[in-house]
Structure 1
Amino acid sequence: MSIDWAALGQVFGVSLVVTVGMVGVFTLGILGTSRKAAPEQGGAAAAAGGAVGASALARTGAYACFALCAAAVAYGIYLIVA
């Protein structure tokens, strides 16, 4: 029995990079969905257009991160089944 150490190292390296990357993308998605509008000076929640726009942009980015994670999982399942 012969082990191809170069191929094993390559699989390990790619797996490590993809795993860390997907955890990072999922974390960005969690952070994006947990963003709240910044409070104003008086302590009330800001309803200004800038804060609402930033919150909507963060939420849209979070949904894109979750979609990327779902696509990676679907691709992994496809590779296993095919």
Structure 2
Amino acid sequence: MDIKWGNLGSVFGASLGITIAVVVMFSLGVAAWGRAGSGPRDGQPRDGQEKAALAVAAVCFAACLAVAAYGIDLLVPG
């Protein structure tokens, strides 16, 4: 049995990079969600910054979900 170290290194590098990217995206989503606040206060509508923060959080969480779904799709036979 022969180990192809170049291929092993490539897989390790790709998985490390994707893991770091997902952790950063999730962290940015949590931070944006926290910046958006807990919702309208005293009947006042959200301002532009809160709406933008919610949009950023939604995009970050959707990206994390897309990566997880793609990983599951790779693992589960069709």
TM over 0.5: yes
- The alignment's TM-score, normalised by the length of structure 1, stands at 0.79
CA RMSD between the two structures = 1.8
For structure 1, the 5+ residue unaligned runs are 38-46
Structure-2 residue corresponding to 1:41: none
CA distance in 2, matches of 1:36, 1:56: 7
1:20-43 deviations in Å (ceiling 9; x for gaps): 000000000000100056xxxxxx
For structure 2, the 5+ residue unaligned runs are 38-43
1:11 aligns with 2:11: yes
CA distance in 2, matches of 1:26, 1:6: 30
1:11-66 deviations in Å (ceiling 9; x for gaps): 000011100000000000000100056xxxxxxxxx7x9x8101110111100100
1:79 aligns with 2:74: yes
Count of residue pairs the alignment pairs up = 71
CA distance in 1, matches of 2:57, 2:10: 31
- Secondary structure of the structure 1 residue equivalent to 2:35: coil
Structure-1 residue corresponding to 2:26: 26
| Percent identity (aligned) | 42
1:70 aligns with 2:61: no
- The alignment's TM-score, normalised by the length of structure 2, stands at 0.83
1:57 aligns with 2:33: no
Greater gyration radius: 1
After superposing on structure 2, the runs of 4+ consecutive aligned residues of structure 1 that deviate more than 4 Å are none
